[in-house]
Chain A
Amino acid sequence: MKPYLSIEKLTQRFPDGAGGDMTVFEDATFGVEKGEFVVILGHSGCGKSTIMNILAGLADPTAGSVIMDGQEVKGPSLDRGVVFQNYSLLPWLTTLKNVTFGVSARHPEWSKANVEAHSTKFLAMVGLDGDVIHRKTSQLSGGMRQRVSIARAFANHPKLLLLDEPFGALDALTRGTIQDELLKIWGQMEQTVFMITHDIDEAILLADRILLMTNGPQARVAESVEITIPRPRSRTEIVEHPNYYAIRNHLVQFLGKRSKELAGQPMQPGEMNKPATIRIDKTTPSDDPEDTQTVLRAVNS
């Protein structure tokens, strides 16, 4: 049974400027289930954004395919909404018009009033209402702009929502607030989300599963780490959870050390570039209360 979103043997090469090719990643294979929140973590230059652009249909892979809901992804589509790091709002439109822009593209048959009501509802879901929604986006703070962008994406009910480092340009406090907004709206919508980030804590707070990428070139999606912390989560409570630091340490170790060690190894013939599933769960009752070893169960699927 194929997953809802299936990335199969995806390869991306760019000319290296010296007549040869530079392989960003090769034969990357992984899947995302419906309703799942998957975050991809990795250093700059590992090809995260390239994967994102391919999923969005804004770029074409050198080889391999992306299959969503039984159909191959070809070109951009309203079924795959994108929230860009720099918000990508249209500055000559008001906040509300930026959202209705998306909604009326999705539902051309809706009446103007209907489109506006729908848009207003989603703006309210990210905490924007009243006078603010009639302002031009240039008059909004960075955090508010990203909320508009999130509202625009969710209002369209895409089959897959792609978030490209959505909080990268925001300060830590604003980032926290909007992560909460994102969790809230995601919880109501059962939206399938694929997100890029650099921020480990953000990834743990939001994700069902974290994909870890080694450094590029020839990057691999090396591990798929399940986040074994129950939802609903809040940033103050998850740090108390016994699994939190175990998972966090694993991620830090990977990004700090192993992403380099595993980097740049060409594919062995017949080898699959498929992430190993890692499940870290310290809540499993242990016979020995003195046992402080991390329970590490690596299951290769």
Chain B
Amino acid sequence: MYTLSLSLNQRAALLSVLMLVVGLLVWEAVIPGQKAVGELTEYEILTGAGAPKAGVPLPSDVIAKAWEQLSDPFYDAGPNDKGIGIQIGYSIYRVLTGYFLAALVAIPLGFLIGMSPVAHKALNPFIQVLRPISPLAWMPLALFIIGDSEASAIFVIFICSIWPMLINTAFGVAGVRDDWVNVARTHELGALKTAFTVILPAAAPTIVTGMRISIGIAWLVIVAAEMLVGGTGIGYYVWNEWNNLDLTSVVFSILMIGIVGMMLDAMFGFLQRRVTYVE
């Protein structure tokens, strides 16, 4: 008898595809198609009843939309009509700028907090108060002080991505085994050399985990921030399409947000595997 023998990955992939297809079919089936507009009275036509009503789009509509958008992602036809590639590009640019500024502050500061118990105790109250503040709560203050909406969005990303990196760096550095630090000491390594050749690689898995959490949060926040500041970016795009009642574009952009977020996470996942070591 012929038996189908598939590897674990193949079986999982098969199941994923199956779930996708079933999901899409159910979606397609439960959404009633746009009713054919029958005979309308003159009054109805005048009041706009004949215009197609917005409804939840069918998967086939979304796929058609995706095809249309992705085949020309970088067109620019004015402030309210830019390709998805340009919108995502703006968002990624803001996220990465705010994120790297945050890393530039958080990682050295985390080292300081991790290595000095005094610094830890002194800074901890500030961290504990500032950390739970929703990044968007900073927005009015940022807009007022900075004045520029673009820079305010970057500031919001900065402030939301700093905490996981700061806390994880401090935790990782403080947790470096004394034995390894002693190895550095008995080899007469200077403070800087010890930091780079022993403490950084030892704490790297924890630090990169913090960086991975931060990039995830930054990507969540940018959508909301751009809805507020407007102009460009994927968040603004979603809101703009909602105002246009183009739900097909809304669903399509939601999907794109998910895909970009997954790719950002995968990048840090790769970095994490690179720096992880087994004791």
Residues of A within 8 A of B (CB): 56-58, 75-78, 80-82, 84, 86, 88, 90-93, 101-102, 105-106, 136, 138
What are 12 A-B pairs at a CB distance below 8 A? A56-B182, A78-B187, A88-B183, A90-B183, A90-B202, A91-B278, A92-B202, A92-B204, A93-B201, A101-B187, A101-B197, A102-B187
Knowing A92-B201, A101-B197 are in contact, say whether A136-B186 is a contact too (CB < 8 A): no
Whether the Cβ atoms of A88 and B187 lie closer than 8 Å is: no
For B180, give its contact among A82, A88, A105 (CB under 8 Å).
A88
CB pair A84 B179 closer than 8 Å: yes
Tell me the smallest distance from the CB of B162 to a CB of chain A, in Å.
26
Contacts of A138 in B (CB 8 A): 277-279
In contact, A90 and B198 (Cβ under 8 angstroms): yes
Residues of A within 8 A of B188 (CB): 76-78, 105
A58–B278 CB distance below 8 A = no
Cα–Cα, bound, A176→B166 (Å): 47
Interface of B is mostly: helix
Shortest distance in angstroms between A59's beta carbon and chain B's nearest beta carbon? 10
- In the bound complex, residues from chain B placing their C-beta under 8 Å from that of A91 are 277-279
CA–CA, A106 and B204, complex, Å: 26
Interface residues of B in 198-249 (CB under 8 A from A): 198, 201-202, 204
Question: By the criterion CB–CB under 8 Å, are B179 and A82 in contact?
Answer: no
Minimal beta-carbon separation of A84 from chain B (angstroms): 6
Residues B186 and A82 in contact, CB atoms below 8 Å apart: yes
Q: In the complex, what distance in Å separates the CA atom of A88 from the CA atom of B180?
A: 6
B189 within 8 A of A: yes
Query: Shortest distance in angstroms between A183's beta carbon and chain B's nearest beta carbon?
Result: 23
The residue of chain B having its C-beta at the shortest distance from the C-beta of A162 within the complex is B186
CA distance A188 to B62 in the complex (A): 77
Known: A84-B182, A90-B183, A105-B187; 10 extra A-B contacts, CB below 8 A, are A75-B185, A76-B182, A77-B186, A88-B183, A91-B277, A91-B278, A92-B202, A92-B204, A101-B197, A138-B277
B-side interface residues, number (CB < 8 Å): 18
Across the interface, do A80 and B278 meet the contact criterion of CB distance under 8 Å?
A: no
A88 touches B201 (CB 8 A): no
Q: How far is the CA of A80 from the CA of B279 in the complex (A)?
A: 26
Nearest CB of A to B275, in Å: 8
Tell which of B187, B198, B277 has the most Cβ of chain A within 10 Å: B187
* Interchain CB contact under 8 A, A76 and B185: yes
CB of B197 within 8 A of CB of A82, answer: no
Q: How far is the CA of A81 from the CA of B185 in the complex (A)?
A: 11
The 3 A-B pairs of least Cβ separation, nearest first, read A138-B278, A105-B187, A92-B277
**Inter-chain contacts of B182 with A (CB < 8 A):** 56, 58, 76, 82, 84, 88
Residues of A within 8 A of B179 (CB): 84, 86, 88
Are A136 and B278 in touch, CB under 8 angstroms? yes
- Measured between beta carbons, the chain B residues less than 8 angstroms from A75 are 185
Within the assembled complex, what's the spacing in Å between the Cα atoms of A78 and B279? 25
User: Could you tell me which residues of chain B, from 149 to 183, have a CB within 8 Å of some CB in chain A?
Assistant: 179-180, 182-183
B59: min CB distance to chain A, Å: 47
Closest to A89 in B: B183
Instruction: Report the minimum CB–CB distance from B118 to chain A (whole Å).
Output: 20
Contact A90-B201, Cβ < 8 Å, known A84-B182, A136-B277: yes
A209 to B169, CA, bound (A): 47
Q: Which residue of A lies closest to B188 (CB)?
A: A78
Please measure, in the bound complex, the distance between the C-alpha atom of A136 and the C-alpha atom of B201, giving whole angstroms: 14
Which residues of the partner chain B approach A58 to less than 8 Å between Cβ atoms?
182, 185-186
CB distance from B176 to the nearest CB of A (A): 11
CB of B203 to closest CB in A, whole Å:
11
Complexed CA–CA distance, A138 and B202 (Å): 14
Q: How far is the CB of B12 from chain A (nearest CB, A)?
A: 29
> Taking the nearest CB of chain A, how far is it from the CB of B168, in angstroms?
17
Name the one of B186, B189, B278 contacting A56, with C-beta atoms under 8 angstroms: B186
Q: In the complex, A57→B275 CA distance in Å?
A: 31
In the bound complex, residues from chain B placing their C-beta under 8 Å from that of A106 are 187
